[in-house]
Amino acid sequence: DKLESAKRAAAYRAVDENVNFQHDKVIGIGSGSTVVYVAERLGQYLKDPEYNGLVSQFICIPTGFQSRRLILDNGLKLGSIEENSSIDVDFDGADEIDDQLNLIKGGGACLFQEKLVSTSSKKFIVVADYRKKAPKYLSTNWKSGIPIEIVPSAYVRVADDLKKLGAKHVIVRQGGSAKAGPVVTDNNNFLIDADFGMLENPSQLHDKIKALVGVVETGLFIDNASRAYIGNADGTVEVFN
């Protein structure tokens, strides 16, 4: 369907244009449904006799359980960020992208690992479909609030502090119907989604939220992405630097 082909087109082009197969060794693999096609594309290169020798040497750094599965399912070598603290290029999705390449991330509840990997990478490439590009400010289309990873015992305190900062709506993200109670991240933390309306200064807001006692990390990725590949419904791909 159009949406999946948009994701695939963006991801394939992003890999083709941003992996230096002769030079790169450590590749970050993000979370979500678009980065699936990044791992798929790398898997295709792995099967290509011309590239097998190089891609079989790649070490892929995951951003969570789904990401680890993507790496293994495509025959790629799984590595840890502890042993590979400098990453050549990282590919990840986003919930929304503004015209300065600032991102809202965390829809998939992996934002801490994603930010650890993206900020440890020489190049951070965002892959997304046409629904994710904000015309100007963040929180134009993404209405679920800013995902914020918090220490579980601080959730009441952080919720209050976020409201004092101007959040209109604050909610601890709940698990699916099968799970009674909050989502617990890979780092054994909770997530709060906080709606601050249109974000005209996401950098300042990130700094204020990050400074709150009990906040581990925010889903505002400021001055981090190097380039974004946005797949359109007609199969074309737009590249933003």
Active-site annotation, residues: 114
Q: Which residue of 106, 145, 202, 214 would you call a contact of ligand DER, by CB under 6 A?
A: 106
Binding flag, residue 93, ligand DER (CB under 6 A)? yes
Decide if residue 64 touches ligand DER (CB under 6 A). no
List 28, 32, 79, 202, residue binding ligand DER (CB under 6 A): 32
Identify any residues that bridge with 26 across adjacent strands, giving them in sequence order.
59
Stretch that binds ligand DER, among 9-17, 39-47, 54-62, 99-107 (CB under 6 A): 99-107
Q: What are the beta bridge partners of residue 239? A: 229
| Number of residues counted as binding ligand DER (CB under 6 A) | 16
Q: Give the DSSP letter string of 175-200.
A: P-TTS-SB---TTS-EEEEEE-SSBS
**Bridge-partner residues for 230, per DSSP?**
128, 238
Q: Which two tokens stand for residue 217?
A: 């990390």
CB of 103 to ligand DER, least distance (A): 8
Task: By CB under 6 A, tell whether 34 contacts ligand DER.
Answer: yes
Integer Cα distance of 202 and 123 in angstroms: 21
Comparing every residue's Cβ against ligand DER, the nearest one is 32
Report the alpha-carbon distance of residue 241 to residue 219 in Å, rounded.
20
Distances (CA, A) of 169 to 7, 19, 50, 113, 172: 31, 41, 53, 25, 10
Using rule CB under 6 A, residue 24 touches ligand DER:
no
Contact between 107 and ligand DER by CB under 6 A: the answer reads yes
Question: Which of 29, 55, 110, 125 forms a contact with ligand DER (CB under 6 A)?
Answer: 110
Quick one: 24 or 95, whose CB is closer to ligand DER? 95
Selection from 154, 198, 196 nearest residue 172 by Cα: 154
108 binds ligand DER (CB under 6 A): yes
State the residues that interact with ligand DER by CB under 6 A: 30-34, 92-95, 105-108, 110-111, 114
